[in-house]
Amino acid sequence: MYKADQLVILDWATMSYHKDELSLRGFASLAQNIDVHLRTAAEDTVSNIGNADVVLCNKVLITREVLEACPNIKYIGVLATGFNNVDLEAAKERGIPVCNAGSYSTDAVTQLVFAYIFDHFQRVALYSMDVRLGKWESAPTFSYFPYPTGELRAKTIAVIGYGHIGRSVAKIASAFGMSVVVHTRTEPENCPFPVVSLEQALRSADVVTVHCPLTEETRGLICKRTLALMKESAILINTSRGGTVVEQDLADALNHNMLAAAYLDVLEHEPMDGETPLKYAKNCVITPHIGWTPLETRKRLLDITEDNLRGWLGGNPQHIVNGL
């Protein structure tokens, strides 16, 4: 197996927030030289790539123009599952394989989904705050419970999208005794849960959790029309892509009590646009795209990226997303 001549990482800061929490030692045996950029602005992409034959990136745009200006590129590794930042067709025309990291974040995102669900139905943080404020000390009875809580058993969860994460969420929800319904674009094989229309899923659900990719068909999937189908007591969870939700429509639904709550780890613009109507919407919990960020998860992502490159160098490429 030969080594790459020059490996460049364009946006390492998206992978590692704290110094030395992740190591690039595994790539030392795969490239003669490694060049690491914490961030790469669009106007610096070509110069930062230079003569590199291997490019690794997370969100930096690798456009047709970039590929034309960097003819030495032979391989592109995406430090993510999504690969919409790379012009796949232009890369394919040049014989450049584009490899992603597959389903590295399934467990972590599933965990976040249930953190949201527990937050809503158990109110742990809210009760803890009241205890700190002395409200239990002054309670007239031994138990202080002004905020309603609820059991998950017999609640209906609608899983929109049935890929790796959707299947994982459905499996765990079922273990909690929840009634699971699935809406997905293609009929899944051996699905143990009812596969229903989007309308049926939204009307029946106490929890709606979105796990579909962002495509022309799914952009704006959650909008005024579909939100109107949901129960007023239901909650919406989105850990997929921000563009699947029309933010103004969701804010309006929350502010007019058409929905009990929303939990979002993704937004249309990231970092968050301060003008998003969801910033101060009622009962809207927003986390800053952290579903994929547990340290173990990022280590797994790096391991998969390393294995992808090793496979390509050894003539056995894997996780290619542009048909080469």
Question: What is the tens place of the pLDDT at every residue in 88-115?
Answer: 999 999 999 999 998 899 999 999 999 9
Q: Is 181 helix (H, G, I), strand (E, B) or coil?
A: strand
- Summarised one tens digit per residue, pLDDT across range 213-267 is 889 999 999 999 999 999 999 999 999 999 999 999 999 999 999 999 999 999 9
pLDDT of residue 20: 84
Say if CB 32 and CB 60 are below 8 A apart.
no
Kindly report the number of other CB atoms within 10 A of residue 299's CB atom. Answer: 14
pLDDT of 1 above 70: no
Dihedral of alpha carbons 322, 211, 159, 197, sign: negative
Domain boundaries, the chain: 4-103+294-313, 106-286
DSSP character for 299? Answer: H
Tell how strand 261-264 and strand 235-238 pair up: parallel
Q: Phi and psi dihedrals of 58, rounded to 5?
A: -110, -65
Candidates 123, 164, 211, 241; catalytic one: 241
- Summarised one tens digit per residue, pLDDT across range 196-209 is 999 999 999 999 99
Nearest to 268 by CA among 290, 238, 229, 298: 238
pLDDT of 49 above 90: yes
For the chain, the average pLDDT equals 96
- Summarised one tens digit per residue, pLDDT across range 145-182 is 999 999 999 999 999 999 999 999 999 999 999 999 99
Rounded to 10 degrees, what is the CA torsion of 244, 246, 252, 254?
10
Nearest to 312 by CA among 67, 61, 64, 56: 56
Question: Does CATH number 3.50.50.60 belong to domain 4-103+294-313?
Answer: no
Provide the percentage of residues in the chain whose pLDDT is more than 90: 93
Q: Which residues contact 25 (CB under 8 A, 6 or more apart)?
A: none
Q: Is 26 helix (H, G, I), strand (E, B) or coil?
A: helix
pLDDT of residue 2: 82
Angle, vertex CA 282, rays to CA 264 and CA 159, nearest 5: 35
Query: What distance in Å separates the CA atoms of residue 148 and residue 211, rounded to the nearest whole number?
Result: 28
pLDDT of residue 323: 87
pLDDT of 46 above 90: yes
Query: What distance in Å separates the CA atoms of residue 296 and residue 304, rounded to the nearest whole number?
Result: 12
Tokens linked to 182:
């699935």
Q: Which helix (H) or strand (E) holds 208?
A: strand 207-210
pLDDT of residue 276: 97
pLDDT of residue 87: 97
pLDDT of 280 above 90: yes
Give the CATH class of 106-286. Answer: alpha beta
pLDDT of 9 above 70: yes
- Summarised one tens digit per residue, pLDDT across range 51-60 is 999 999 999 9
Query: What distance in Å separates the CA atoms of residue 161 and residue 143, rounded to the nearest whole number?
Result: 40
pTM of the complete model: 0.93
Same CATH fold, 106-286 and 4-103+294-313? Answer: yes
Say if CB 78 and CB 99 are below 8 A apart.
yes
pLDDT of residue 19: 81
Query: What distance in Å separates the CA atoms of residue 66 and residue 71, rounded to the nearest whole number?
Result: 9
Say if CB 153 and CB 178 are below 8 A apart.
yes
Report residue 324's pLDDT band, with 50, 70 and 90 as the boundaries: confident
DSSP character for 44? Answer: G
Known catalytic residue: 241? yes
